[in-house]
Structure 1
Amino acid sequence: MASTACLRLPFLPARTSSCSSRSHRVPRASSIKCCAAGAGTSSVSISSAASREGVGAVGADGLVGPPVPVPDSPAPAPASRDLHWLPRPLTSADLMDAGGEGLKVAYQGCPGAYSEAAAKKAYPNCQTVPCEHFDTAFKAVENWLADRAVLPLENSLGGSIHRNFDLLLRHRLHIVGEVRLAVRHCLLANPGVKIENLRSAMSHPQALAQCEYTLTEFGIEHREAVDDTAGAAKIVAEKMLQDTGAIASFLAAEIYGLNILAQNIQDDKDNVTRFMMLAREPIIPRTDKPFKTSIVFSLEEGPGQLFKALGVFALREINLTKIESRPHKKRPLRTADNNSTPLKHFDYLFYMDLEASMADPKTQNALGNLKVHILD
C-alpha cells in the first residue's frame, strides 16, 4: 500500500504584493459580497456607493419599491472595483478547456475522499493536492501551491458546510464553478473481516449520520468520528483493525487495500453534495449563459427588513435558489438595557443564491437597491 500524506501549512505566510504603491492595494469588501456563478462561477466584492438623499419610492430602473441609490452618472457602476487590481480575469473558455490539464487542484481530505472525486469531475485531467483542513486548501491556492480548490458547500441531507461559508469571507478567492457529486457510501473492512465481526464504524460525522439506519440493521453498535471518509479507511487499513469498518468510497477501498462488504449503504439514496470551484482570479460575468450569483449581507434591525431585501429581487423577477442565515461572528449579542425586556436577537449574516449574472443591469440595480437596507 502506497504511503499518502496531506498538505499541511502550519505557519505559511500570506502572499503579499511586490508593489508598494498605495494605489495598487486591493480595496476592502463592503457589506455585500457577491460570488457570480455560471458556466463557471466567479466571485467579486461589491463596493458600496453612497446614496443621494431625496430618492423616492421608484427605483433607478423604474420599479416601485424601497428607495434606491441613484448614481451620479447614468452609466451602470462596474461589477467590482476589485477587478482592476486582481490577476487576469478568467473567461468561460478558460473554465471549459481540456479538463484542467496541468492544473493543481486542492481538496480537503486524504486520497480517495469524495472531495477528490469532485475535483476529478470538475477537472478530469488535473493533479490533485490533498490538504489536511479546509483552511489549508484555501491557503494553498492563495500561496500558489495550487491553481484551484474544490470544496464542499452543501449536502442534500446534512445541509450547508458552514465552515467553508466562513472561510469564503476570510479569504480572497473567487468561486469560478460548481460541481455536484452523488455520494455512494460503502462499508469497508480489512481482508477476511465480515460484517458480523464488526462492532464499530469509523467515518466523517455526516457519513455516519447518513448511514445510521443501515449500520443499526447490520448490528454495528459503536460510531467513531474522524475528519474525513478516506482518512477512516486509511486508519482501518494501517492499524489492521479487525472489529472496525470504515464508511468511504469504492476508490478508498482500492487505494488502501480494503474489501467492500456493502455498497450504497446510505439511508437516503438521493445523497448529493454541491462543491464550489475556487481560483485566485475572478470570472468575467456574461449574459449569454446561465449564471448564478451568491451574496452575503447583514440587515439593519427592524420589522420588514428581510421582506424589503427579498423584494428588490422579486420586483425584477430574479429567482432565488437558496437563503440561509447565520449569527454574525464579528458583532456581539444584543442585550436589553434592563431586566424588564427579554434578551434581543443576534445580528445575522444572510447567504443568498440568485439565478442572475452580475453583467445584467437588473442584477446591479437590485444590489444597488439592497445597499439601502444593509448594515455597514
Structure 2
Amino acid sequence: MMALKAAPIWACAKYSCTQLGFADLGTRRSGSGSNLRFDLDKIRNWECCGGVLTKRAKTPVEDEKPMAPGLDDAPVENDQTNVTESRGFHRDLNSLPRPLSTTDPFCSPSDGSKVRVAYQGVPGAYSEAAALKAYPKCETVPCDQIEATFKAVELWLVDKAVLPIENSVDGSIHRNYDLLLRHRLHIVGEVQLFVNHCLLGLQGVRKEEIKRVLSHPQALAQCEMTLNKLGVVKVNADDTASAAQIVASDGLRNTGAVASARAAEIYGLDILAKRVQDDCDNITRFLILAREPIIPGTVRPHKTSIVFTLKEGPGVLFKALAVFALRGINLTKIESRPQRKDSLRVIDDSSKGSGKYFECLFYIDFEASMAEPRAQYAMGHLQEFAKFIRVIGCYPVDIAQ
C-alpha cells in the first residue's frame, strides 16, 4: 500500500487551516470570538517537517542554509507517476522510508526488538541503560563519540540515538545542545534515569586496598565526598563503563571504578560500595533522536522542544516567554547558547565607552503538544518576536523510575 504524503501540521492536528489561521485572543487585544482574524501570510511562513510545525528561517542560523528561490512554487508530480516509478526502482518495499506514525515509541508491540539504538560509550554505560529503558529488547550500538551517534542515525546504520542532555546535579550538557541544531534529527522521546553510582573493583579486592579510582569526570565529581573519605586519587576516563572495562582488562588490584551495577556484571567486577554519589536524587535526562518525527498526540502528556533567536529590542525576551504564560503553558527548560556565527555584537557609546554582548539561541521545553491549539497559537504569537524558530521535537513525557 502506498504511504500517504505527510499532511501539514494544521491537518495533522485535526484542525482545519481556516480554524488555525485565525489569531487567538491572546495575541491581540481582548474581544469576542467574532474578532478573530484570518492571517494567510503567517500560515505561509510556517512549514511542516513530517507533521511537526516549524518556521522557515529568514536569516541562516548556525548550519541552516537558505532555501532556493522558487522552491515552494515547484510543480507537484502526479501521484500515479510516482507509484509507477517506485515499483520499478524499489524491489524491496521494506527498504523504503516508513511513514510517520502516532505509535507511542515506548510501548511498541515488539518492545523494540527490531530497533537499533546508538549511544556513546561501551556496554554498561548509563546511556545504554537509557536506551534499554526506552526499548527493553532493542539492539544497542556503542559509539566512541556523541557526534558519531548522530551520524549513525543519519546514515541509516541505526534507527535511533540516545543523547544525555542534562543532569539534576551538574545541569545542562551544553555541547549536546549545539549538536541538536547542527544535525537534522528529531526528538521522539525522553528518558529520565536514576543514576546510582557503585564503587567497583576486581574480585576479592577489599575497599581499603583501593588507591586510585577511574571514572568520567562528572561521575567523580558526583561522588567527591565519598572518594575523599577513602583518600583515593581520582583519574579521569572517557566514561563510567570504560573505566570498569579498564580495571577488568588490566587486572588493576589497587584501582577501582565508579560505574553502574550493570557494568560490574558485564566486566566481572565486585561491587565494593553502592550508592556512592553525594546526592541521592541524581537523575539524568536523555533524549531519543530519530530521522523522522512522530505525529504529536493528546492522549498522554507531551513535551515540545524548540530553538529560536529573537529580534532586537527592549523586553523582547520577556515578550517571547509571555506567549506561553498567556496560554497557561508551563516551561520546563530554558537554555541560552551563543550563536557560533557573528555572535559578538559591539555597542558604541561615546559617554560610557563600548559594550559587548552575545546574540543567543534560546532552547525551550514546554509542556504541551503541538496537536493542541494553545501550543499552535503560542508558536504563531512567538513568530512576531523571533527571527528564526525550529521545532526540534514533540514527544511523550517520561517520569523517572
TM-score of the two chains, using structure 2 as the length reference: 0.73
Partner of 2:12: none
Distance 1:159 1:312, change over 3 A: same
Answering whether residue 314 of structure 2 is matched by residue 274 of structure 1, we say no
> Identity over the aligned pairs, expressed in percent?
56
User: What is the number of equivalent residue pairs in this alignment?
Assistant: 318
Partner of 1:298: 309
User: Structure 2 residue aligned with 1:368, among 340, 361, 380?
Assistant: 380
The Cα of 1:349 is off from its aligned counterpart by 1.2
User: Structure 1 residue aligned with 2:49, among 45, 65, 82?
Assistant: 82
Distance 1:70 1:197, change over 3 A: farther
**1:285-322 CA distances to partner (integer Å, 9 max, x unpaired)?**
12333111011111123321111001111111111111
**1:202-257 CA distances to partner (integer Å, 9 max, x unpaired)?**
1111101100001011121x211122100111111222223221100111111112
Partner of 1:233: 244
**1:179-215 CA distances to partner (integer Å, 9 max, x unpaired)?**
1111000011122332222222111111011000010
Answering whether residue 184 of structure 2 is matched by residue 217 of structure 1, we say no
Kept in 2: contact 1:69–1:368 (CA 8 A)? no
User: Structure 1 residue aligned with 2:165, among 143, 149, 153?
Assistant: 153
Answering whether residue 215 of structure 2 is matched by residue 247 of structure 1, we say no
Give the partner amino acid of 1:192. G
Q: Aligned to 1:213, what secondary structure does the other structure show?
A: helix
Equivalents in 2 of 1:273, 1:335: separation in Å?
Answer: 38
Give the partner amino acid of 1:60. A
Q: Aligned to 1:344, what secondary structure does the other structure show?
A: strand
The Cα of 1:102 is off from its aligned counterpart by 1.1
Equivalents in 2 of 1:113, 1:283: separation in Å?
Answer: 27
**1:127-166 CA distances to partner (integer Å, 9 max, x unpaired)?**
1101111111111111111111122111111111222211
Answering whether residue 67 of structure 2 is matched by residue 99 of structure 1, we say no
Q: Aligned to 1:175, what secondary structure does the other structure show?
A: strand
Answering whether residue 149 of structure 2 is matched by residue 181 of structure 1, we say no
Equivalents in 1 of 2:270, 2:385: separation in Å?
Answer: 57
Answering whether residue 174 of structure 2 is matched by residue 162 of structure 1, we say yes
User: What stretches of structure 1 of length at least 5 have no aligned partner?
Assistant: 1-23, 25-33, 35-58
Q: Aligned to 2:344, what secondary structure does the other structure show?
A: coil
Equivalents in 2 of 1:325, 1:269: separation in Å?
Answer: 28
Distance 1:206 1:167, change over 3 A: same
Distance 1:373 1:187, change over 3 A: same
The Cα of 1:87 is off from its aligned counterpart by 5.3
After alignment, is 184-193 or 257-266 more displaced? 184-193
Q: Aligned to 2:327, what secondary structure does the other structure show?
A: coil
The Cα of 1:270 is off from its aligned counterpart by 0.5
Give the partner amino acid of 1:83. G
TM-score of the two chains, using structure 1 as the length reference: 0.78
Equivalents in 1 of 2:296, 2:325: separation in Å?
Answer: 21
Distance 1:122 1:64, change over 3 A: closer
Task: Please give the root-mean-square deviation of Cα atoms over the aligned residues, in Å.
Answer: 2.7
Partner of 2:23: 60
Equivalents in 2 of 1:132, 1:71: separation in Å?
Answer: 49
User: Structure 2 residue aligned with 1:314, among 316, 321, 325?
Assistant: 325
Answering whether residue 275 of structure 2 is matched by residue 264 of structure 1, we say yes
Distance 1:93 1:374, change over 3 A: closer
Answering whether residue 43 of structure 2 is matched by residue 72 of structure 1, we say no
After alignment, is 271-280 or 191-200 more displaced? 191-200
Kept in 2: contact 1:87–1:281 (CA 8 A)? no
**1:271-297 CA distances to partner (integer Å, 9 max, x unpaired)?**
111111111121001233311101111
Partner of 1:359: 371
Give the partner amino acid of 1:71. D
Distance 1:288 1:333, change over 3 A: same
Give the partner amino acid of 1:144. W
Equivalents in 1 of 2:274, 2:46: separation in Å?
Answer: 47
Distance 1:310 1:198, change over 3 A: same
Q: Aligned to 1:99, what secondary structure does the other structure show?
A: coil
